[in-house]
Amino acid sequence: MADIYDATIICDHCSKPTDKAILVKNGFKIRAWFCRKCKKEWLHPSDLAAYNAFKRLKERDFRVKLRLVGNSWAISIPKEIIEYEDVTVSKTVQLSLDEPGRLSIFFTSMRKIIK
């Protein structure tokens, strides 16, 4: 099925074909159309919905417990984040200590990156 982004969108103000662009918000890529003449932009509806879902999660402050499991320590990742990252089975993720007191987890999901 063709994506709406493949279509040419006509500006509802000046009736000229719009140009396509990719906006980056918080590292999130959103496909858009814009009219050079009217300086108006339209965001791709599914990219916008995905971005809003991301933004709602980003604004939350999760508190999780750090506990000893055998010789390692474990934290529970809230299910909202796991669902957002499309994790359905046990997997290996990449961890890195960014700076003292700050740890990053990299999920390998590439679904939010638009080619």
Instruction: List binders of Zn ion among 14-33 (CB under 5 A).
Output: 14
Asked if 10 interacts with Zn ion (CB under 5 A), we say no
Judged by CB under 5 A, the residue of 37, 55, 56, 58 near Zn ion is 37
Judged by CB under 5 A, the residue of 38, 74, 93, 103 near Zn ion is 38
Asked if 57 interacts with Zn ion (CB under 5 A), we say no
Residue type, 112: K
C-alpha–C-alpha distance, residues 97 and 76, integer Å = 18
Distance of CA 104 to the CA centre of its chain: 16
Asked if 64 interacts with Zn ion (CB under 5 A), we say no
In sequence order, which residues have a C-beta less than 8 Å from that of residue 43 and are 6 or more positions away? 23, 30, 31, 32
Contact residues toward Zn ion (CB under 5 A) are: 11, 13-14, 35, 37-38
